[in-house]
């Protein structure tokens, strides 16, 4: 690695530490520490949403998918905008006025403490699994084209992430996300310019071969749920992003941190609007690399055996000094941004949804200390999980990730049941949870012809992308049936449903986004 690249990476990591130190000592309450005292500008919340949505996996997976095939993976991103336009103007101000810090408070108000804890536990479990896995994938990707030791990468980046998250709280998470968003756009723009004008191939020739080869196709439009067609991924995108923007603490936390309803809506619109161009840009990079190697006849080295290795190889071996450093820093930042966000979220959940429920007489200062302790412990455990994965290559924890996939489903349907059905109570929610758990267990274990459990003719027949959608549909159907059979008493107390919310907004309309 060139000295300039190493300098850029080191400078970026020092900036992250500096941001954490900048906000250290200012968080004297759980409100300030976990939702930045509701003081974040809308544009910063938007860049933070972008950073938490664009993970380090995006850097590798999207160019690799476009290089090997087409732009099928972009399908869910297009549906992402549809979901945001449909639910954002209602959901964002709703949560800002109904919950204090945790989105799972809402499920507690509608269905009781048990359902609240179930929803919070499934999110926390999934987040913890994701933290260890992302640490591992980041180290694996970087080590494959730099030769740096994976163990040192995991430990070093983990310590830096834990440090600035611990001392700076959610304010540090937000503003490091802003730095990551700016660095990401810089790296993407510079890379595309280099590929188009300084790679040795004419732009017109590259776009011609890409277009005539169908490399920008969004996938087959044949309705076949057994394959990742456009419609399969569209269905997946609708349910995945609906769940993220209605029941994912890492997203809702950013709504709550904004200084006003209007700023929160602007931030959500900005973050959503930036995600699709970034995904598209990464797809374009993969297609341009494919065209470049076809036109110039350059041969890839024998060590590059998978499509997702092509972009990292080109980045290190062909880009001028400084550009590789920008992208490596952005790759580090994407992983660390997500990890910092998840650490803060898990800390908040264990404080608000568990600690405060079991030990209600603790002071706010005591809860804050508990939350900080949780962040350190969870960060250290994530590092340990990642180090274990470097030895097992993921196989030893395959069943663990399958278990988290089973438990984490159904939260989109739980929100819909709570938000749309006045008569749905705890019995309806628990019935939906039970049906969803049974179905997702069956589908996950019998997927791909019974890879884990083989039921032969009774294996789940469709693509893994459809499991979440099917689980949510069955959850909602069972919940509505439960509401009909065991209706909750509708009294004069606030029900916190869409209908009461719309009635309240008529009396105090939401100001327009400007």
Task: Give residue-wise pLDDT tens across range 193-231.
Answer: 999 988 888 999 999 999 999 898 888 888 888 888 888
DSSP-based three-state secondary structure for 446: coil
Is position 448 within any domain?
Answer: yes
Q: Are 203 and 292 in contact (CB under 8 A)?
A: no
CA nearest to 431, candidates 469, 491, 488: 488
The contacts of residue 211 (CB under 8 Å, 6+ apart) are none
More confident residue, 17 or 126: 17
Residue 244 lies in a domain: no
Task: Report the C-alpha gap between 109 and 119 in whole angstroms.
Answer: 13
Residue 320 has a pLDDT of 83
> How many C-beta atoms lie closer than 10 Å to residue 267's C-beta?
27
What CATH number is associated with residue 66? 1.20.1730.10
One domain, residues 386 and 416: no
Does residue 84 form part of some domain?
no
Q: Are residues 366 and 428 in the same domain?
A: no
DSSP H helices, 99-149, are 104-111, 113-146
Which range, 31-40, 306-315, 316-325, has the best average confidence (pLDDT)?
31-40
Dist. CA 398–CA 129, nearest whole Å: 11
Among residues 364, 393, 422, the one where a domain terminates is 393
pLDDT at 498 over 70: yes
Higher pLDDT, 489 or 438: 438
Note whether 208 and 297 are same-domain residues.
yes
291 and 413 both lie in a single domain: no
Q: Which of 236, 234, 238 is nearest to 221 (CA)?
A: 234
* Same domain flag for 433 and 353: no
Please write the tens of the pLDDT for every residue from 106-151.
Answer: 999 999 999 999 999 888 887 877 787 777 777 777 776 667 788 8
Residue pair 441/514 in contact (Cβ under 8 Å)? The answer is: no
Residue 147 within any structural domain of the chain? yes
Whether 251 maps to a domain, the answer reads: no
Q: What is the pLDDT of residue 490?
A: 64
324-328, 367-371, 488-492: which is most confident: 367-371
* 314 falls within a domain: yes
In this structure, the chain runs to a length of: 514
Q: What DSSP assignment string belongs to 8-49?
A: HHHHHHHHHHHHHHHHTT---SHHHHHHGGG-B-HHHHHHHH
Dist. CA 231–CA 222, nearest whole Å: 8
Kindly report, residue by residue over 455-481, the tens digit of the pLDDT.
888 898 988 888 888 999 999 999 999
Whether residue 90 lies inside any domain: the answer is: no
DSSP string, 216-273: T-----S--TTTT-HHHHHHHHHHHHHHHHHH-HHHHHHHHHBSSHHHHHHHHHHHHH
The pLDDT score that the predictor gives to residue 204 is 92
Alpha-carbon distance 46 to 181, whole Å?
Answer: 10
Of the chain, the percentage scoring pLDDT greater than 70 comes to 93
Does residue 418 carry a pLDDT above 90?
A: yes
**Same domain as 328, residue 217:** yes
Residue 155 shares a structural domain with residue 189: yes
The confidence score (pLDDT) of residue 430 equals 95
Burial of 148 (0-12, 13-18, 19+ CB in 10 A): middle
User: Is residue 46 included in any domain, yes or no?
Assistant: yes
Cα 328 from Cα 331, distance rounded (Å): 5
CB 332 within 8 A of CB 138: yes
- pLDDT tops 60 at residue 401: no
Give 440-450 pLDDT, tens digit per residue.
Answer: 889 888 887 87
Same domain assignment for residues 299 and 447: no
The total of structural domains in the chain comes to 2
Say if residue 23 is in the same domain as residue 48. Answer: yes
Single out the residue in 343, 360, 393 at which a domain terminates. 393
pLDDT value of residue 452: 80
Do residues 249 and 241 lie in contact, with contact meaning Cβ atoms separated by under 8 Å?
A: no
DSSP states of 376-389: HHHHHHHHHHHHHH
pLDDT of 307 strictly over 80: yes
Which domain-ending residue is among 393, 426, 449? 393
Which has more confidence, 179 or 57? 179
Asked whether residue 63 falls in the same domain as residue 208, the answer is yes
Alpha helix positions (H), 359-464: 364-392, 398-407, 411-420, 426-445, 447-450
SS3 190: helix
Residue 512 has pLDDT above 80, yes or no: no
Buried b (16+ CB within 10 A) or exposed e, 278-293: bbbbbbbbbbbbbbbb
Does residue 251 contact residue 35 with C-beta atoms inside 8 Å? no
Is it the case that residue 22 has pLDDT exceeding 60? yes
Same-domain pairing of 300 and 365: yes
* Domain that residue 505 falls in: 409-514
Percent of the chain with pLDDT over 90: 31
Pair 359, 464 in one domain? no
Q: Mind listing the pLDDT tens digit for each residue in 226-285?
A: 888 888 888 888 888 888 889 989 999 999 999 999 999 999 888 888 888 989 999 999
């Amino acid at each position: 690695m060139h000295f300039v690249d190493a300098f850029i990476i080191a400078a970026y990591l020092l900036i992250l530490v500096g941001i954490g130190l900048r906000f250290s000592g200012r968080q004297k309450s759980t409100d300030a520490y976990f939702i930045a005292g509701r003081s974040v500008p809308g544009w910063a919340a938007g860049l933070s949403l972008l950073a938490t949505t664009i993970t380090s996996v995006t850097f590798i997976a999207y160019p690799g998918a476009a290089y090997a095939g087409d732009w099928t993976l972009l399908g869910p991103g297009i549906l992402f905008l549809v979901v945001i336009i449909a639910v954002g103007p209602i959901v964002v101000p709703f949560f800002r006025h109904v919950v204090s810090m945790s989105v799972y408070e809402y499920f507690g108000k509608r269905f009781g403490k048990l359902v609240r804890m179930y929803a919070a536990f499934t999110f926390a479990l999934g987040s913890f699994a994701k933290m260890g896995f992302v640490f591992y994938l980041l180290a694996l990707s970087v080590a494959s084209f730099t030769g740096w030791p994976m163990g040192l990468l995991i430990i070093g980046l983990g310590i830096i992430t834990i440090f600035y998250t611990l001392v700076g709280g959610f304010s540090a998470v937000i503003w490091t996300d802003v730095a990551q968003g700016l660095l990401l756009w810089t790296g993407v723009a510079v890379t595309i310019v280099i590929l188009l004008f300084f790679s040795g191939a004419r732009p017109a020739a590259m776009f011609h071969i890409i277009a005539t080869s169908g490399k920008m196709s969004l996938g087959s439009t044949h309705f076949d749920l057994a394959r990742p067609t456009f419609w399969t991924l569209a269905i997946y995108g609708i349910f995945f992003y609906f769940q993220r923007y209605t029941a994912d603490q890492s997203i809702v936390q950013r709504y709550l941190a904004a200084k006003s309803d209007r700023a929160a809506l602007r931030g959500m619109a900005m973050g959503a609007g930036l995600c699709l161009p970034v995904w598209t840009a990464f797809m374009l990079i993969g297609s341009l690399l494919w065209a470049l190697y076809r036109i110039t006849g350059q041969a890839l080295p024998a060590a590059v055996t998978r499509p997702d290795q092509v972009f990292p190889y080109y980045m290190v071996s062909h880009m001028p000094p400084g550009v590789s450093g920008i992208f490596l820093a952005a790759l580090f930042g994407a992983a660390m941004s997500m990890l910092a966000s998840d650490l803060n979220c898990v800390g908040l959940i264990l404080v608000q949804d568990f600690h405060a429920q079991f030990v209600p007489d603790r002071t706010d200062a005591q809860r804050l200390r508990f939350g900080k302790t949780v962040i350190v412990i969870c960060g250290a455990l994530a590092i340990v999980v990642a180090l274990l994965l470097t030895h097992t290559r993921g196989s030893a924890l395959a069943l663990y990730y399958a278990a988290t996939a089973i438990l984490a489903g159904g939260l989109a349907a739980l929100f819909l049941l709570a938000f749309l059905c006045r008569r749905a109570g705890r019995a309806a929610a628990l019935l939906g949870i039970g049906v969803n758990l049974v179905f997702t267990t069956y589908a996950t274990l019998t997927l791909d012809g019974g890879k884990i459990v083989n039921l032969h003719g009774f294996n789940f027949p469709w693509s893994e992308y459809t499991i979440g959608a099917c689980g949510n549909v069955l959850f909602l159907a069972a919940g509505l049936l439960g509401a009909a059979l065991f209706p909750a008493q509708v009294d004069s107390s606030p029900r916190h449903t869409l209908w009461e919310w719309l009635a309240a907004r008529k009396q105090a309309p939401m100001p327009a986004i400007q």
